[in-house]
Every structure is written in structure tokens, then in C-alpha cells.
Amino acid sequence: MLGSGGKPWEFLPVAARALEAMPRDAALVVLAAANLASLGLKTVAGECLETLSDEARRIEEAARLKEIIERLPPDRITTAERIGSARVNLEAIVDSHPQVAARCREVFPSWESRVDEIECYRANDGNMLRRPSGRTGLSSCLSLIDQRSQSRALAVSVAPATEMIGRPIVVEGICPPWVFMELMAATDREFVGHRRRVILVQADAEEFLDGLSLADLRTLLSQPRLELHVGEGAPSSLASSLANRLDTALVGRFIPVLATRRACSPPIQSVLSEAESQQSALESDLRRRVEAVYASRDRTWWRRRYASGGPLRVLLRTSRYTTYVRHSTDDLARAFERAGHQAQVYMEPDDHSTLSALATLRRVAEFDPDLVVLINYPRATMADVFPGNVPMVCWVQDAMPHLFDPRVGSAHGPMDFVVGVRIPELVTRFGYPAERCLPMPVVVSPEKFSSGPAGAGRRVGPEPSAGPVICFVTHHGETPERMHDRLKDEASRDPVLTRVMDRLWPAAVELAATTLSADHKRRIRMSVIEAIREEAGSQAPERVVSMLTHAYINPVIDRMLRHQTAAWAASIASRRGWAFVLHGRNWDHHPTLRAHAAGGLGHGDSLRESYARSTVHLHASLHGPMHQRVFECSLSGGLPLCRTVWPTVWPLVMHAQRQVRRRLADRPGSAGAAESGFARVPAGEHAELTEASELIGRIGLETSDDLGLNGWWSIPMTEPVVEDIESMTWPLVRPIAGVSFKDEAQLERLIERAVVDAAWREAGSSSIARPVRASLTHDALAAKITDLVASGMA
């Protein structure tokens, strides 16, 4: 049954043992030969048939099988082929690992003289049989197993596709090379610049050459993320490498290749354990030193420190595995320096590492910071790597799931501060301290993005000879459908969560068509609540609702808007003979827009030049136009055209409500009948409401009964616990509304006007740039952060 079941690698080990006991069993011999032939292993299959008696060979089945075997292509890997493979593979490491290459060249003559001691046969499924030279028969083979499939399964378990950023993997042994090859393949994915490190260790340089002789490994061996330690000194070489990287996470998994003939001494596992012990001891020592320094620095100490007016030492942690956060951190550090402070930024040392706690403790001990700033990560999410007595600011730029957790909110102590977006939600729903939170929109660097004075060598305005250019800079090139599948894969450990996502997908498609409605945000929230109730059968906690809102449905709808906008632009450009370029990740894989993909732009001169020289730059987001790309573009002298969504006008609406609320509070008699904390007022009695109603109607938004429908507004009469960013961005609403579009036709009209009317283009850019330059810069943020911390210590 097993021998005829189409699973030769399961049958052959059994057959080899059986044939040792029953070498003359003709039926078993023929069955073994047939299984070998099915794998293309011509030589050993033929040898099996040769063991049959003359009478058995004349059996029809055996004769037919012999003909099949004779027609198979040669399977023997010749000695010359193996020597040639070893040579070309060795050349691939000459530049990256010269010492390893030199050691292998030393032993190459010795290895070459004995390479034919082992015969190798290539199977048609990528596997290989090896056996000592001169031996014959099935039982002489060293590896009668499906090593490729087993190696692939091992690699997938060690490095699952859902693991975007992982610790290094150590492999001992490359002969045979299948484990190494499959691990390199499983980890061969780039996540915002991160590529996982693989460390290969081999005690015997000649055994390393054995592995190099069995496959073309040049592409794998030349990757910068690969680290090699080969020869007698491999364990000490690895130990030295790890000692130099104690500020990073050392090793995630150790994989010994069982077929390795000579293991390292001392064992690699002991080398890894020693490195981890060294790292832990240093961490403990530094933690004691840091805690001793900061133990006496209470609020009184910090109040005096901030009141002294002396320059502060500001430590900023960031990550190279980001699209914007890294640049934003650098820009804030320069703003602190322009304000007279000292600033130090640290992050991962290379594209293959993640930081350990020791990295942070070392920098705190050496720099002795007066202030720590992290983007999107409060102290409670950092595993106690920062001392509790140093003021720490979390700058919230993104709606990351870990932020929306009441445990994080309640963990904030007197030295913890929050600035950025989503402040009202974090305060009212998740317990963040209102008195130490400050709303702040995204800010930009006037140093990096500026049209510059005349004669500064900076060109502003489209290149006349280039023709109209429509540009869209966004790293969201992955299609919404693929994004949905990826998010499901990442949540696959929770089947209820994946079913909720499947239920939310059609809702997201519908909601993407209703972003002009004032009721849009409520509809999204109710869709999430209903989907959870239908799948889980219970009311979901607020943390889960927020997580699915911010980590699934909002990003999916946002992605749909971006891709629809890009499709509009491509259609317009094709129809009008204009150029359309897409800068950012994954657009080169888009099924319909790949022809417009133009790669990424660095966050500096190349991006500023694109802003300035393109006819227009596009922006589309569910969250509205108060975005760094819009601000950067205007400061650079470019014209941003923005997709109209309800949040386009929300800052002006909130400003109008605030002004009217305060006016009514001063004149209670004019408020009319207030029900449930709201005052119902006619728009015509208040200039702010009239202005907001006019703008809402002009740009085509759909209002509601509470917001100007039939000329009446409902004004919330309770002051918010904490203001939102709209209190700072409302002056931008009218100028941005003037360059906003809700459909393809409006977009085309705006682009056409920018093409023919240079003065209008310049005026539109300037009208946005003025309020940005006045209050939405890193310099303004740096000042607000130090003021917030100083007042919090008072």
C-alpha cells in the first residue's frame, strides 16, 4: 500500500530496511525501483533492478520498468560539477567575508582531492541522494528522506510569514544546504527596510565546501544579512560578533543541521547562552546605575531643572523600520537643537537588527537625559527600559492598537506626557491623564521643506519643458484586497477576529462611498460594533472596538480612497496627455497602475523638488487633509490637491461650535431651550455657523440635522475635557477647501487650472503655507513639549 501510494520518500526508508532482510523479494525490489524512478533517481533505480534474477527480470512489469529507467536523464552530479559549484559559490563571499573565503581557499586543494569520496544524485523534486563512492544499492544511501519538504516546514515554523520583524537565526551546518536555503527563502522579505539576519556556523571548512558544492548558492551567500563563521575558530568568531552587538536582540532560534559531521566545540548553544548571560549582566548593572542616578530626581528636582533655563538634554528613540517616523524624529531633534538644547537620536544600527533594553539603558547612562521623546510608544509599552523618574513624552502620530488600552492609560505616572493626535479619545475612553496631554497635529520641518529665498538655487514651479505632471506620493501601493488578506493573516491566531474582518470587508466597500457624510464616523463605529456582536455573540470591550476601527476598517477604507484617487489621476492623465507618477512602495506590483510607478523619494531634497516642480501633488485620506504631505508640499512651493471627505471641514465646524458655545455661555438667555446638553440655534444668528454652512454646501458635503441641515445647528454646551487638534488646524480649512475635489471631474478641473494659471497655483500654495509656517512646525512642537513638561512639574 505504501509503495504504491505516490509517496516515495515515505516508502524508501521502509523498503531499504525490508530489502536488507529480504534481498531476493522480486516484488519488493521492483516496487523500490519504481519509487526511485518516480523521483528521477536513475542510477540507484537501475542498480535495484540489477539485483533481480534472470527469471525475475523477464517479468513484464520489471522489463517495462527497465525501459522507463533507461529513458530517464542522467542523475549523477559529477565531480567536476561539484568542484565548479564550490568555486563559484566561494567567489560570492570574497568581498563580504574575506577571512572565510581565504580559509576555504587554503583547504580547497585538500577538499578537492577527496570530493569524489561521496557520490551525489539529483532527484527531480530538488532533493539529493548521497552515498560513499563504490557502494551500491538502496541501503548505501545516506539520506532517504524528503529533506527539502522537511527543511521547508522547519523554516516556515521558525520564520512564519506573519512575523514582520524577527531576531537573528543561527544555523549550524550547510551540508546538505537545504535547511540554509529554505531559511533564507522564508526570511527573504523586506518590511519597511528590515531584513532578518541569518548566521551560518560551520566548524569544518572542508565540510562547508561540501555544502557549497551541492547547489548554486551565490544569490543567498551574497546577501548583506548573512553572517558566516567557518573553520576552527568559528565559535570564538561568533562570540566576538555577538559581544559587539549586545545593544541588539541577539538570537531568536538556533537550528543545528543534524547531518553535520563535525559539530563546533565549544557547542554553539553554549556560545549563545554565554552571550545572553553577558548581555543580561550588563543590563542589570546599567539598570542599577541609572536608577541610582534618577532616584532622587522627583518633581521638585525637575521643577528646578526646567526653571533654570539651561539647555536640556533630550534623548529621542526612533526606528529605521518606518516610512516617516524616523525622519520626523530627526527633524524634531534639530528643532530642539535650534532652541539651544542638546539632542541625541538613536535607533537600530543596521537593517537586520532590533534594539535590546541594553541599548536604551546605555544611552540613558551616558547621556543623562532631562527629557525622553518617543513617537507612538508610551513608557508603559517599553518594558521598563526607561527609569520612572525621567520625564517622558509620547508623541502620538498614528492610531496604533497598543495605545488604545486602558491598562496603558492608567499606567501613566506624574512624569509621563502625551502630545499629538487622538488625544480626546485616549483621555475619555482609555484613561490617559488630561492634564498632561496636549493635542498637536502632524508638523513639518521648515528647514527641509522651503521654497527658499530668491537666489537660493531652489527652483519653484513646474519645469516648463516637462509638460504637466501629476504626482502622488504614498507608500500605500498594496491593493485593498491584498491588505485585507494580509491583516487577516496577521490576526490568524484569533479565528473570531478574522471572521469579523471578513464581515467588515463589504461594509468597508460601502462606507468608502459615503465619506462625504457628516455621519460617516458614527457609521464606521456602528459597523464594527455590529460585526463583533454577530460573530462573537456579545458586546465587545471598547479596546477591541478601537483596535478593529483603527487597525482594520479605517486603514482599509483609507486604502480604497487612495487607490480610487490614483485611478482617477491615471485616467485624466491618459485622456489629457499629461504625466502621472506614483512614488512609494508596492506600486510597481499594482495590477493596473504599475506603469505609473516611479519608486520612492528620500525624505529630503528629492521630495522637496518633486513638490515644487510637479504641477500638482495629490493627497487622499479618510482622515482628511491635515497631513504632513499637504503641509510639506505647500512649504516647498507646490500645490497639494486634496480629496474631499467630511474631516476636511471638521476643524472649522469645531471652531464654530466652540465660539458659539462660549458666546451662549456669556448670554444664557439667548441659548434657547437646551436639551441633553445641546443648544439648538439658527445658523443665521452666528457668523461662524453661516461660514461653516456655506463652505459645507460649496464643496459638496452631506450635512446632518445637528450640523446645519435646514439652517439649524446643535451646539454642545459642555466644554471638552481636552481640546483636539482641530483647535489648531481650523485656519487651514478654507484654503485647503479651495483646492479639494470630491470626484474625478472636479480633480480634472483643478489640475487644468493649475496647468494654465500659474498665479492661481502659487496663491493656493501660499495660502496653505502661511498658517503651517506660523504654528505647525517642529520648532513649535519642541517649544510646546518643553512648556508642557515644565508646567507639569510646577
* 413: CATH: 3.40.50
Domain assignment of residue 288, yes or no: no
Q: 423 and 536 share a domain?
A: no
Q: What is the per-residue pLDDT for 457?
A: 45
pLDDT digits (tens, 9 = 90+) for 628-667: 999 999 999 999 999 999 999 999 999 999 999 988 887 7
Place of cell 497639494: 640
Cell numbers standing for residue 202:
560551520
Instruction: Reduce the DSSP state of residue 573 to 3 states and report it.
Output: helix
Contact 707, 518 (CB under 8 A): yes
Q: 201 and 81 share a domain?
A: yes
Q: 41 and 159 share a domain?
A: no
Give the mean model confidence (pLDDT) for residues 231-247: 96
- pLDDT reading at 169 higher than 70: yes
Place of cell 523534486: 125
> Exposed (0-12), middle (13-18) or buried (19+): which is 711, by Cβ within 10 Å?
exposed
Whole-number Å distance between alpha carbons of 623 and 391: 31
Whole-number Å distance between alpha carbons of 332 and 483: 31
Q: 153 and 239 share a domain?
A: yes
Closest by Cα among 157, 319, 345, 169 to 251: 169
Q: 396 and 543 share a domain?
A: no
DSSP secondary structure code for residue 550 in this structure: I
Closest by Cα among 608, 614, 609, 586 to 598: 586
Q: What total of structural domains would you count in the chain?
A: 4
Cell numbers standing for residue 567:
485611478
Q: What is the per-residue pLDDT for 160?
A: 87
φ, ψ for residue 248, nearest 5 deg: -120, 165
pLDDT digits (tens, 9 = 90+) for 65-90: 889 999 999 999 999 999 999 999 99
CA angle at residue 513 from 507 to 518, to 5 degrees?
95
Q: What is the per-residue pLDDT for 1?
A: 58
Place of cell 531559511: 183
Q: What is the DSSP string of 739-752?
A: TEESSHHHHHHHHH
Which of 597, 616, 643 finishes a domain? 643
Contact 476, 597 (CB under 8 A): no
- pLDDT reading at 744 higher than 60: yes
Strand partners, 756: none
Task: Kindly indicate the confidence band of residue 675, based on its pLDDT and cuts at 50, 70 and 90.
Answer: low
Determine the structural domain holding residue 47 and report its residue range: 8-74
- pLDDT reading at 138 higher than 60: yes
Q: What is the per-residue pLDDT for 462?
A: 59
Which of 615, 643, 671 finishes a domain? 643
Q: Is the pTM of this model over 0.75?
A: yes
Q: 47 and 149 share a domain?
A: no
Q: What is the per-residue pLDDT for 679?
A: 87
Domain assignment of residue 328, yes or no: yes
Domain assignment of residue 363, yes or no: yes
Q: 34 and 58 share a domain?
A: yes
Q: 53 and 85 share a domain?
A: no
Give the mean model confidence (pLDDT) for residues 603-626: 94
Residue type for 462, please? P
Task: Kindly indicate the confidence band of residue 23, based on its pLDDT and cuts at 50, 70 and 90.
Answer: confident
Q: 258 and 362 share a domain?
A: no
Q: 361 and 325 share a domain?
A: yes
For the beta carbon of residue 4, count every other beta carbon within 10 angstroms. 10
Q: 500 and 608 share a domain?
A: yes
Instruction: Reduce the DSSP state of residue 713 to 3 states and report it.
Output: strand
Q: What is the per-residue pLDDT for 460?
A: 52
Domain assignment of residue 752, yes or no: no
Domain assignment of residue 276, yes or no: yes
Residue type for 588, please? D
Q: What is the DSSP string of 145-206?
A: S-HHHHHHHHHHHHS-TT--S---EEEE--SS-HHHHHHHHHT---BTTB---EEEEES-HH
Percent of the chain with pLDDT over 70: 96
pLDDT digits (tens, 9 = 90+) for 406-454: 999 999 999 999 999 888 889 999 999 999 999 999 899 988 998 764 3
Q: What is the per-residue pLDDT for 456?
A: 44
Least confident of 55-69, 96-110, 575-589: 55-69
DSSP secondary structure code for residue 213 in this structure: T
Domain assignment of residue 741, yes or no: no
Domain assignment of residue 177, yes or no: yes
Work out the mean pLDDT of the chain and round it to a whole number: 91
Q: What is the DSSP string of 48-116?
A: HHHTS-HHHHTSHHHHHHHHHHHHSPP-EE-HHHHHHHHHHHHHTTTTT-HHHHHHHHHHHHHHHHHGG
Q: What is the largest CA-CA distance in the chain?
A: 117
Q: 310 and 224 share a domain?
A: no
- pLDDT reading at 325 higher than 50: yes
Contact 671, 679 (CB under 8 A): yes
Whole-number Å distance between alpha carbons of 72 and 121: 13
Q: What is the per-residue pLDDT for 590?
A: 95
Domain assignment of residue 681, yes or no: no
H/E stretch holding 290? helix 268-294
If you count them, how many residues does the chain have? 794
Contact 231, 203 (CB under 8 A): yes
Give the mean model confidence (pLDDT) for residues 466-490: 92
Which of 26, 52, 74 finishes a domain? 74
pLDDT digits (tens, 9 = 90+) for 757-779: 999 999 999 999 999 999 999 99
